[in-house]
């Protein structure tokens, strides 16, 4: 075989082998520990969900799955760190509507796209958002709150976790749907907002069941309505706002997982398969239910569609309620 023919054969072999290299890398994924970024401080609902998943996912993948809390800038710091990571399945994000639909829709300073810059893997849990009053409040039903707000516009105040947070936006949707005006009072998170309600600094608070359940069980606060699309197994007797004629105020709290955009499809499919099995296990369902969180699983395409719907909705809300976030 002459020198020229040997070179041609070598080049042909390399060309044929090149496409197989990424496939080989994907087949051997994960080749190192997996980092699961949580854009909130440790101890909150998102962190609880992420750590519950990390333990089981690590066992299934045969690699350590490490939770990395990166709070700040309304989840933007953590989200952008994942966007910048290599799209190889070794860096994941666990978060919710704040990251994927609220920030892109309502914060002009946010440069990322909640759909285009991520590869959705699935929605893994839901948590009811509740309207709460203190234990001896004169308001016994949601209708009582609406009546008082109509009689005395802007006299009732409600606690939020700051501008653009889920309680703030849910409160805005509630006011528009009910045709009322209330005053929002911002606190630095769920714990101080809850203390404000218990101490009667505010009339109302909107918060997740995960945060409110201990105080409800202790008899310090009462829940009047669930903002979710359907009644929760956690509070089966609590009506959802749609049942009370306020369907436009429906607001589902959820947690999901995504990877950077352009993560190889086989890696996303493997993660989706493992997540579906994990979230369907009795062990994790019981573990999260003890924290007032409903384990679930909704696949990548459905997660993408939910983000798109919510982004459109929050853009419209920002315009109608004149909400502009820094």
Q: What is the pLDDT of residues 273-309, one digit of tens each?
A: 999 999 999 999 999 998 889 899 999 999 999 999 9
Domains in the chain (CATH in brackets) are 32-127+252-320 (3.40.190.150), 129-227 (3.40.190.10)
- CB-CB neighbours of 288 under 10 Å: 25
Please report, for residues 198, 205, 206, 215, the alpha-carbon distance to residue 191 in angstroms, rounded to integers and kept in the order given.
11, 11, 12, 11
Q: What is the pLDDT of residues 13-67, one digit of tens each?
A: 444 444 443 444 456 899 999 999 999 888 878 899 999 999 999 999 999 999 9
| Integer Cα distance of 109 and 1 in angstroms | 64
pLDDT of 6 strictly over 50: no
Among 208, 169, 228, which residue's Cα sits nearest to residue 46? Answer: 208
Q: The tokens 């978060």 sit on which residue?
A: 95
**What is the pTM for the complete model shown?**
0.81
Q: What is the pLDDT of residues 223-269, one digit of tens each?
A: 999 999 888 888 899 999 999 999 999 998 899 999 999 999 999 99
- CB-CB neighbours of 141 under 10 Å: 12
Among 51, 69, 59, which residue's Cα sits nearest to residue 284? Answer: 51
3-state secondary structure of 63: coil
Per-state percent for the chain, helix, strand, coil, to nearest 5: 45, 20, 35
| Residue 261 DSSP one-character state | T
Please report, for residues 53, 190, 212, 278, the alpha-carbon distance to residue 326 in angstroms, rounded to integers and kept in the order given.
32, 21, 28, 37
Among 261, 253, 228, 270, which residue's Cα sits nearest to residue 27? Answer: 270
Among 124, 129, 128, which residue's Cα sits nearest to residue 52? Answer: 124
Mean pLDDT across the stretch 2-6?
Answer: 47
Q: For residue 133, what pLDDT is reported?
A: 98
Please list, in sequence order, all residues whose beta carbon lies within 8 angstroms of the beta carbon of residue 252, skipping any fewer than 6 positions away: 126, 129, 227, 228, 229
| Residue 239 DSSP one-character state | P
Q: The tokens 């359907």 sit on which residue?
A: 230
* Strands 34-38 and 91-95, sheet pairing: parallel
Q: What is the mean pLDDT of the chain?
A: 89
Q: Residue 144 CA to chain centroid, in angstroms?
A: 30
Please list, in sequence order, all residues whose beta carbon lies within 8 angstroms of the beta carbon of residue 228, skipping any fewer than 6 positions away: 126, 128, 129, 240, 250, 251, 252, 253
| Integer Cα distance of 161 and 154 in angstroms | 19
Among 70, 158, 167, 93, which residue's Cα sits nearest to residue 127? Answer: 167
**Which stretch of 5-14, 164-173, 313-322 has the lowest confidence by average pLDDT?**
5-14
- Find the distance separating the first CA and the last CA of the chain, reported in whole Å: 70
pLDDT of 126 strictly over 60: yes
């Amino acid at each position: 075989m002459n020198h020229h023919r040997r070179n041609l054969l070598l080049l042909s072999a390399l060309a044929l082998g090149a496409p197989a290299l990424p496939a080989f890398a994907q087949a051997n994924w994960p080749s190192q520990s997996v980092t699961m970024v949580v854009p909130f401080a440790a101890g909150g609902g998102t962190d609880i969900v992420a750590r519950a998943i990390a333990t089981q996912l690590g066992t299934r993948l045969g690699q350590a799955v490490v939770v990395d809390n990166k709070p700040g800038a309304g989840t933007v710091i953590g989200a952008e760190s994942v966007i910048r990571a290599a799209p190889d399945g070794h860096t994941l994000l666990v978060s919710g509507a704040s990251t994927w639909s609220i920030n892109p829709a309502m914060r002009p300073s946010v440069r990322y796209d909640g759909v285009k810059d991520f590869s959705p893997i699935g929605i893994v849990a839901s948590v009811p958002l509740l309207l709460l009053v203190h234990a001896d409040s004169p308001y016994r039903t949601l209708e009582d709150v609406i009546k008082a707000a109509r009689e005395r516009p802007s006299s009732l105040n409600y606690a939020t976790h700051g501008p653009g947070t889920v309680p703030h936006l849910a409160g805005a949707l509630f006011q528009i749907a009910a045709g009322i005006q209330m005053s929002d009072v911002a606190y630095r998170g769920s714990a101080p907002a809850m203390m404000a309600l218990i101490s009667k600094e505010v009339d109302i608070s909107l918060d997740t069941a995960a945060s409110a359940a201990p105080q409800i069980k202790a008899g310090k606060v009462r829940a009047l309505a669930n903002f979710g699309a359907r009644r929760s197994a956690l509070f089966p007797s609590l009506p959802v706002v749609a049942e009370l004629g306020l369907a436009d105020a429906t607001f589902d709290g959820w947690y999901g997982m995504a990877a950077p955009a352009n993560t190889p499809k086989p890696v996303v499919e493997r993660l989706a398969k493992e997540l579906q099995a994990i979230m369907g296990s009795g062990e994790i369902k019981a573990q999260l239910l003890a924290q007032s969180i409903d384990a679930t699983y909704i696949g990548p395409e459905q997660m993408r569609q939910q983000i798109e719907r919510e982004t459109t909705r929050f853009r419209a809300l920002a315009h109608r309620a004149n909400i502009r976030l820094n």
